[in-house]
Structures are given as C-alpha cells and as structure tokens.
Chains A and B, each alone.
Chain A
Amino acid sequence: MLASSNLGGRTIRRWISLLVFGAVATGSFSAAATQFEKHPGRGIYQKLCSECHGPMGEAVAGKTDDPLRGNRDLTSLTRRIERTMPEDNADKCVGEDAKAVAGYIYHLFYSEAARARKTPARVELNRLTVAQYRNSIADLVLGFRGSIDIRQERGLKGSYYGSYRLDPNKKGMGHFNRVDDRVRFDFGEDIPGEAKKKLGEWAKLNDEQKKKLKKNSEVPGKFAADEFAIRWEGVLLPDESGTHQFVIRTRNGASLWVNRHHNDHEIREGTKTIDGYVAPGNKLRELQAEVFLIGGRPYPIRLEFFKYKGKRAQIELLWKQPHGVLRTIPKRNLAPQIIHDSLTVAVPFPADDRSVGYERGSSVSRTWLEAVTSGASEAAAFVVRHLNELAGTDSKQADREEKIREFGRQFVERAFRRPLSGNEARLFVGPHFDRADTVEQGARRLVLFALTSPRFLYPGLPHDSAPDQWDIASRLSLALWDSLPDQRLRGLVRLNQLKTPKQIERAAGQMARDWRSKAKLRGFFHHWLELDRAAELAKDDKIFPEFDELVLADLRTSLNLFLDEAVWGKDGNYRQLLLADYTFLNQRLGKLYGRTDLRSGFQKVSLNPKQRSGIITHPLLLASLAYHNDTSPIHRGVFLTRNIVGMSLKSPPMANEFKDTGFDPKLTMREKVTELTRAKACMGCHVTINPLGFSLENYDGIGRWRTHDKNKPVDSTSEFRTETGTTIRLTGARDVAKFAADTPSAHRAFIQQLFHHTVKQPVLAFGETTMEELRNVFQQSNFNVPELIRSIALKSAMHGWNPDAN
C-alpha cells in the first residue's frame, strides 16, 4: 500500500489535512485555491496531464471527452493514474508522482467535495412534483373529513340479502354479513354457498337464539334462487398510480362505485362508476370503466349485485392496474372497512425533470401551468359539489355563508401549510367571496386561487422569520409523504410540541409508519431498480414462449411483495434486500422458475441460497436487464456498478452497439462481451462492469437459473477490483450482494439515492458531513430502511433549524 516512509508522502498528507481544515474553516474556494499553487502535484499535472485534461480537468476538446470528475477515492484514483496515465506512456507517472498528482486533482476539482466547494450545492426552491401535487390536494380535502387508517385484515365486507332489494328488513327474507376474499362467484341456478350454510345453521336455532343474531345484524329468513342480492364494500389498495380499468362480469344486475362517497344517500344519487343495474336476458356480459388512482392510497369501493328471476347468477369484479393484466381484484388489494373517498386529480401532467437522476420540481412550463390550473378547477368543482359537507353546514342553516367562509380560511391555511396573518387572511380569503355573486362561486374561486398560488406550489418559499415549527411540519410531510401536514401534525405545532429534536424525531417516527410513507418508499424502490424498463418488457416468443404479459404482471406483484417483506417485515433491512434467500411466487411463476410444489395465490418461498440472493436475483430485475433473446452482462453490470455497489461510471467513449449477429454463434454471452470490450478505451470501465455482469450469467434472459450457455458450462466467476484497490474473487450473485451489504461505498450510494428521492434536493446542500452522519445512523440501526428514511426526513426538516428561536 501507500509507502509513507519518505518525506514526500508525509508532506502530502500534512498538506491534505491542512487543506481540509483550511477549506472547512474558510469555506472559501479562493482561499483554498491559493494553497494549491504550492502543491507538489501541480508541476506534474501541468507537465503531463493538462495538455489533454485542461488546467482544471475540464477536458480539452479533441483530446479527451469527459471532464476529470468522479467518485473514486484517493487511493483508487492514484492506482488508476499509475496504471493508465499518461495514455501514451503509463510508466511516466507512478509511485510518489502518481500520488502527488492524484492528491492535487482530487482536492482541486475531481472529488465531489471539491466540486461542491466550487459551486456550493444549495437547497433550491422547487415546485411540488406531480406526485406531491396530487397527494397534497387529496390530503387537503380529506383533512376536512377525517383520516384514513388501514387495518391488517384483507378482503371485502359482503352483505347477503334474501331479497333483491338489498334491504335487511324485508319481511321474511334472510340476511347476513361476512368477509369475502374477492368477488368471483358463479352461483349457477342456485343460491350462494354461504347462504346455504346459513340456512342450515338457522334451521337449528330456536326463536331466542334467532333474536340474538339480529343484534349482530343477521336475520334468519328465506334465501331462494329466484331472488337474492349481495353488496360488497370496503377499501381498494392500488399498487400503482395511473388509469385503472375496472370490469364487472355478470349475468345479473350490478353497479360499481370506485372512490365515491360512502354516505348512503350520496351513493344512491351520485354517479356510479359502472351502471349495470339492468341486465338484459340473463346473458353473461362485461361492463367496464376507467378510474385514475394514486398508487398506495386507499380508496372506497362498493359493488351491488342482485339476481331477479333470471336463470343463472354470476358475478366477478376485475381490474387492470397500470403495468398489469385484467384479473380478479385479489385479496391483498382489498380491505373490509369503510373509508372516505379521496379527491384524485386525474389531469395529465408533463413528467417531472429527472435529469439529475431523481424527480424534482425544477422546471415550470406552459403545459405544467395549464395542468396545475385544470387540476385546481377539478378540485374547485369537487369542493363546491361537497361544500356543505366540507364546511359542516347545510342549505338551511342561517350561518351557512359564515361557515363556508371559515372553511375557506382553513382551506387556504392548510394549502399554504401555515396560519395566515391578519393581513394575509384579508388578502387571500375575503375578496373571493366579496367579489362573487354566490357563496358557491366564492368558494370555487378561493380554491382555484389557493391551488394555483405560489404559496401552495412552492412549499419551500421562505417567509419573514427563521424556519419555525410549521416549516418542520411541512418539510416532514413532504419528505415522508409527498404531501402536506395532517390534522395530527398541525395539532402538535399548535400545542408547541414540534419544538425539541426529540419531539420532532418522535413525530417523524410515527409518520414513517403511515401508508403514505410506504407508498413513497415503494416509489423509491421502483426508481432504484429502474423498473421503468420493466414496464413494456417483451421477450422473443421462440426462445421464451412462456414469458407472456401474465408472467410479467405476476413478477411485478412478486417483486412488490418481496420489497414489502424485506423492508417492512420483522427482520427486514437493507441487508435482507440483498441477501434474502426467499421470494414470493404463485403457481404460474413457480412453474416457470422451477417450483412446482406451490399452492394457488402468492406465497413466501424459500430458495436455494446458492442460487438466489435477494433483490439482485429477482427474475423481474434480471429479465429487465437483458436482451429480448439473451442475457446482457453489460446492462446487469452497469446496474450493479452504479445502483448496488455504488461506483461511478462515465458514459462510453464510443457508441459500440452489441450486435449478436457479428459473433461466432458458438460463443457464450460471456465470450462475446469479453471480445467486444477488449479495447483499452473500453476496459477503463468494463474492468468493473464485466466481472459484476458475469456474476449474473447463471440467470437467463428471463431470470431462470441456468448452468449452461451454448452447451458450455456457465462461468460466473471473476476477479473484481474494488474502489479501494483490493481485488476480490466473485463466484456469483451472492458474492456481489455480500460485497455490497458490507461495503461503505454501496451504503453511500443507497443512502444518496434514497435521500434524493425523499428530499428532492442534493444531499451536499445539507452539509458535507450529512452523508457520513446518515451512514452511521444506517449502520447503527442495523440497516433499517424506514429508520433511514426517517433520519433523512429529519435532516431535511431541521435544515437551518434553531430550536431556541422557536
């Protein structure tokens, strides 16, 4: 390793420590820059390097393409220089010279910290992202109705009636309630099986016992095949955001409400999502409708079904989620409880900027403003339609207008995430009502104003005073929920209980367990695993005939179930994500991936730890990181390098398309890739990419375990040079996973990506030490992911926070 016995080495190290302290102390780039003039590496760099790289590593046109910037640490950078530089004579700069020049460039412009000093990262004023906009509006309105807490039980509440009128008091007719896993029934010419069972039970009861039952809203009575009805109601838990297709398959009368108010009166009068009340001719028919839903958010759902005189009875409730296939809505996406509907703005938005690697609200455009305005109109119409309910009044009350104005004030306050001053209230609330012809028109305009106002759209807008408890509440809810503070959080601020770090930590801890956090975290994993590319995945029919859209949809479910377990389960943590020896499969997937011993439905399945290791061997990921007809060690290697192992890569020096036809057909994939990337210019990066990619060669293009490629045994072993310069031997996926699970650079990469997804600001803007602090927390919490997201949210919430000022 680094020889430290000579004078030069000590000098450099002393100099570095001086620099670091100096830089921190002055925080000034120019102060540091003057010290570089005396740096021992300066002369060497100017002589050997700057001709191509430029004086500040900015790259000289025609000589080199990429600026000299990167994420290697100093040792690794030194070794790289020793090995490869200068390009015409790699032996010219070795040993102490290489060390000196590496130190010079590292601290002057190469490292992230050096770059940050030059253009200091800062917390930018961003607008709400699309997801934040949709969630904020949904929660803003929901807040006037109550809150939603989803219990563990799954399925739908089914109310069975012996009369077609869904009336429990219809004389002589039976009635009972139960929880059904899903709605998929063919009753034939008979009554429902459950009703048959009940008839049997009721026959054994005396009058006294029957009376008792009525207290549980069960009414012993008639059930006959010519007439009965069932109402299913509960919660729908969508996995993905987007347009969902709902389908009722029935021979009888059936109506569906999705995300409609649960109030009985409204549900009768309100618009049905699907109206199939009239059933012509007892013929099997499919009725469908589309509804836009936000993934992870619970929505009320209700299905009413009745049979009258027709011969047969049959009903099924299906859906097609985004990236899914049409299927019966499964139990895990249903819960038997009654909740409020959520105003969900369906207006299409332009996608958020992702140019820095994560979505953030950094650009405004005409299309965006039009979408925001249309969304606000949609919300305004909703509020006016439910005005009495939201304002807690009715048409007959004398103080109705007063109550609606008070509702208006609260609406603006909650949208702006802080109380209004007297002057602000005069500016933002009253005038809308004063200028309007009717109080409804006033409310419409107030909502339109509030939701197009910069105070709603830019949650980071500074105000006159230092950050206060309202800012803490706003930042926490934005980071953890992509939304605005709820009733409980606002209550804490009003009681002055979001003041001490302990209080704030406790609040964040509670928030991190909420369904909104889970939804946000799932979004992060989809981003981290680059599942965009899995959305439209198609494989060669001849080579992978089994890989159809059903398998693809099942794999997505399987991956989501695995993530839930590995993150939120009892032993869940980041290491589990990488090292778990289990996954979730159903029969269809089991058949394809070598497990024929499964029962129906998804189940947790133990796997051979020699063959599978956590997320990196999940078939969906492996299939998405592969060609349509083969594996792709390059795609897999690049993904593992950047997202799992946490090393940076430059873009390829030349576009070198992989053309399968150009090779000897007998070559294995590994042989082809080795051949293709043999050039020295390629190997700068492929020395890292290839070993990682090759370690997944035991998985074919759809992620099945294989031992042979082109009739030759698969070789998944390789020598992998780590960032610190040590070389380790990889024999397969588990070795890569182990390496990442144990390596700080991998942890940093994970933390950084989660930070960016959560806060939507560069982590460096929160101080140079933030990353290491988070890494310590992560390690100390045994790599607990919810704990990490909580710590990240706290970091962002407490930025510029001075508890004494509050």
Chain B
Amino acid sequence: MGGTRMRIEMKSQLFNRREFVKRLGVSAATLPFLTGLPGLNASERPAGKQRLIIMFSPNGTIPSEFWPDQSGDDFKLKRITKPLEAFKNQLLVLRGIHNKVKGDGDRHMRGMSCLLTGTELLPGNIQGGSDTPAGWASGISIDQELKNFLQSREETRTRFGSLEFGVAVPNRADPWTRMCYAGANQPVAPIEDPGQMLAKLYGKTVDKNSLSSILDDVRDDLARVSKSLGAEDRARLEQHLTLVREMEDNLQRADEDAELSHPVPDIDPDVELVNDNTPKISRLQIDLLVNAMANDMTRIATLQFMRSVGQARMKWLGIEDGHHSLSHESDKNEGAVEKLIKINTWFAGELAYLTKKLADTPEPGAAGSMLDHTLVVWLNELGKGNTHTLTDIPFVLVGGKAHGIKSGRALKLEAASHNQLWLAIANAMGHEIDSFGTEKFCKGGALSLS
C-alpha cells in the first residue's frame, strides 16, 4: 500500500477512508509507543509445542447429567457435555479426582484457592460461610509453576509466559476469586476486560485505529488555522504539521511492515462489562486467547468464568436466579436442577467453542491443528453444589496429543488426589517433578493419562 498516494486519493471519500483505516488498524502495532512485539514469524519456531489451557466454571455440577454411565473408550456423553459431541474422540473425562486439602477456609474457598495449588490456605481474616477464617493459598499454582518452567528454557520461552483471562470475574480480590498464585500469598488477578487484554497483547492498537481516523482532520485543521498567522507563528504550526504527517506515515508503514502470523482479532474494545454481556465477553476472550497462542505469545493460559460462589444471572439462558443460590437448592427441586444443567451445558458450549477454534487453526510451523498441541482442562471448585463436596470434581481434558494424552475415554479413578493430576500434566510437559503442592497428596505419584 503506497502510503502518501493512498492518503491523497482517499481524502474525501468516506467509504474508502473507513476501509483504509480498517486496513491500517489491523496491524498498526509497530508504532513508536510499542515495545516487545510478539514473535512475528511463528513458522521459524521449532515444532512440537505443548500448551496448556485451564478453564474454570464455578459452583459444582449436576453429576447425573455430567458423568458418562460407561467407562473406557466406549461411552456416551450426557446432557451437560453434549456440546462437545463433535470432539468426543479428543475428550478424557476423569471421574474420581478429589481435592483433599483440609485446614482453614470454607469449602468454596479451599475449592477455589487450593484447586490449582494443591496446598493449604494460610490463616487470615476472611470468613466464609463456615469453618475458620483464612487468607491466600500457601503455594504456587500449577499454571504458574509450568510457566516458570517454560520460561526458564530458551526454546519454550514466550513474551508473556502465561495469560490469565477472566469472564465476569468481579473486581475484588479474595480466596473465592483467585485460583492462580505466583507463590504463597501472591494471587494473580485475571484480566476480565477484553479491551484491557487487547491492549496488553497488541499495545495501543485500538487507539492507533482511532488515531489514524482523526489524524487527517487534525492535519486539515492545522493547515486551516495556519493561514491567518504571521510568518513566525506559522512556522511553529508548520513544524507541528510536519510531525503529524510523520506520525501518519509511521502508522502506514507499520501496516506494511508488521505481519503477525495471525492478525489482531477485530473486536470491540468498548464492550461494557456487565452481566448481560457475558456471552459476548466470553467469545471475545476466547478469540484473544487462541490468537495469543497462535502468535506464540504464551503457552499457558487460564480462563476463569465468574468465581466460586458467583451469582451470575444467566438471562441469556432464560434464568433469572443467581447461580450460587441455585446451586444450593435440593436435588428434589427439579426446576433448579434443570437450570443448573442448562448453566453447566452453557459452560460446555464455551469449551466447545474454544476447542473448535483450536481444532480449526493449523498448528503454526507443524502438522496438525493447534488442538493437537494444546491440552485444555475444564474444572470446577466443587463436585456438587448443594453438598459442597470436594470429591468427584468434574475434570474434563480435551486435546493434548502432543502431551501424550490418550483421549476418547472416560475413566473412573479410585479416590485420586488432584495433586496427582497436576503432576501428570507437569511430567507430560517435560517438567519432571515428583511432588506438587502438599506432599502427602502426591502419594501414588502422577496419574497415568496415556
């Protein structure tokens, strides 16, 4: 695209200018304000990448509509996991995994803050619905552990190491809202605003789009007001005008130079962060997540829907009640059970969207799809909502061929601890540890997933 020529030709044509701005905006990411660009040419990276995505949804599941009746490789999906039907061969459904961590904090708190850490909460000042008050988790979470591991090696190091996405996570920090920990007492906050995530990933591209749309207005106006000035004052404005032209040229050159292997997703950064926009926000975040991984900005990501004890009102499913209140209803309340099935099915649908996106994107620089190189773990802080159980937590693994995961199976395990699962995943990604979290929960060693 010939910069200056383009500008002159399109000056007064609204349609063309919009088109021009749009094209300009797509990857105007190499502006002076921007530093630390993502790997521009992903095909140069070595093959055999392994990625991990952990997706969280809260308040337990409805076991009868979640767990398949069969085990082994011949199993039927129940209502909740039905949206994943197309990827059944990519699934590994794991029943019988328990969160065995005891100590301070109610079960929601431990369910959440011990989920990825596999270790106890510190004593603190936060009182739950029962038990003793507690503080933050006392250890690192598995995603951050693996991030540190991957970042420690040249061949697996990426710009961010890990990205923490949130969807409708309330902006407050307590043991119910945080599952990622950089270490004891160091919760990592998810980013729940797609606009903020976009800015983090692709700099101020959004502003650049807006900027390029107004620069010729500014330029025209500078020329207009200069006319009435004396020579000395005019010289100052002309200098200003030259600088504006330079900035405009830089924007255009950025468009020509920067070729991300996957362009910045075209998303609305101004989406309002309200409950009713949750479905839209979810898709934006998933798009950004897959995009960031396609551009190899990170190999570890978490995607956290709401929070433990979250009260999302899923009006888009025709449900007015808060999610957590519903989860307390008795199994005999068929209406509530039906709603909870719908809610959990919706989460499965979001997982299916993520899976499809990964499956549809060819793995950069290698054969197969991104899904082959990505292991997605869907989990929950509770097994069952109304009993607040930390047993039989609904774990579903998707993809992960490159991790050696043998999928297309439903397994029934004998009271395994979730620490053992984290060990297995760490080992599968080359991180040869034999203990993670509290040591006693690692007894029996890593689960066998192959």
Contact = CB atoms under 8 A, between A and B. Distances in A.
Contacts of B122: 280-281
Contacts of A373: 211, 247
B125 interface: yes
A434 B123 CA distance: 56
Interface stretch (B236-244, B253-261, B382-390): B236-244
B273 to A, nearest CB: 9
16 contacts: A125-B233, A125-B236, A125-B237, A127-B240, A253-B125, A280-B136, A281-B122, A282-B123, A309-B133, A362-B236, A364-B239, A365-B243, A374-B33, A438-B270, A448-B214, A449-B217
B210 A444 contact: yes
User: Among the interface residues B32, B136, B175, B207, which one has the most CB atoms of the partner chain A within 10 A?
Assistant: B207
Interface stretch (A211-219, A451-459, A520-528): A451-459
B214 A377 contact: no
Interface of B: 14, 17-18, 32-33, 122-127, 133, 135-136, 170-175, 185, 187, 204, 207, 210-211, 213-214, 217-218, 221-222, 225, 228-229, 232-233, 236-237, 239-240, 243-244, 246-247, 268, 270, 272, 274
B127 A366 contact: no
Given A269-B171, A435-B18, A448-B211, A384 B270 contact: yes
Interface string A263-307: 000001111000101111110000000000000000000000011
Contacts of B207: 377, 380-381, 444, 448
B135 A452 contact: no
A273 to B, nearest CB: 13
Contacts of B213: 432, 435-436, 445
Nearest to B175: A278
B382 to A, nearest CB: 21
Contacts of A369: 240, 243-244, 247
Contacts of B172: 268, 275, 277
Given A277-B174, A364-B236, A454-B240, A441 B210 contact: yes
Given A309-B133, A445-B213, A449-B214, A275 B173 contact: yes
A397 interface: no
Contact of A277 (B123, B173, B240, B268): B173
Nearest to B121: A280
A172 interface: no
Contacts of A281: 122-124, 135
Interface in A446-491: 448-449, 452-455, 457-458, 461-464
A458 B207 CA distance: 23
B232 A278 contact: no
A366 B243 contact: yes
B126 A278 contact: yes
A440 interface: yes
B203 to A, nearest CB: 11
A124 interface: yes
B125 A252 contact: yes
Given A124-B233, A369-B244, A435-B17, A279 B125 contact: yes
User: Among the interface residues B214, B225, B268, which one has the most CB atoms of the partner chain A within 10 A?
Assistant: B214
A280 B123 contact: yes
B142 to A, nearest CB: 21
Interface string A362-404: 1011100110011001001100100000000001000000000
Interface in A55-102: none
A308 interface: yes
Contact of A458 (B136, B187, B237): B237
Contacts of A125: 229, 233, 236-237
Given A275-B173, A308-B125, A444-B207, 4 more contacts: A253-B126, A445-B214, A454-B237, A458-B225
Nearest to B15: A435
A440 B130 CA distance: 44
Contacts of B243: 364-366, 369
A454 B270 contact: no
B230 to A, nearest CB: 8
Contact of A278 (B136, B237, B239): B136
A252 B218 CA distance: 52
B392 to A, nearest CB: 29
Contacts of B225: 454-455, 458, 461
A268 B173 CA distance: 11
A461 B17 CA distance: 29
A571 interface: no
A536 to B, nearest CB: 29
Nearest to A464: B228
A496 to B, nearest CB: 26
Nearest to A124: B233
A370 B32 CA distance: 8
A437 interface: yes
A462 B228 contact: yes
A431 B14 CA distance: 10
Contacts of B173: 275, 277-278
Contact of B125 (A306, A366, A380): A306
A384 B195 CA distance: 12
Given A125-B229, A278-B124, A306-B125, A449 B218 contact: yes
Contacts of A279: 124-125, 135
A9 interface: no
Nearest to A378: B207
Given A280-B135, A454-B221, A448 B210 contact: yes
A419 interface: no
Nearest to B138: A280
B127 A308 contact: yes
User: Among the interface residues B17, B122, B204, B233, which one has the most CB atoms of the partner chain A within 10 A?
Assistant: B233
A310 interface: yes
Nearest to B187: A278
A-B complex: 5 closest residue pairs judged by Cβ atoms = A280-B135, A125-B233, A440-B270, A449-B214, A377-B207
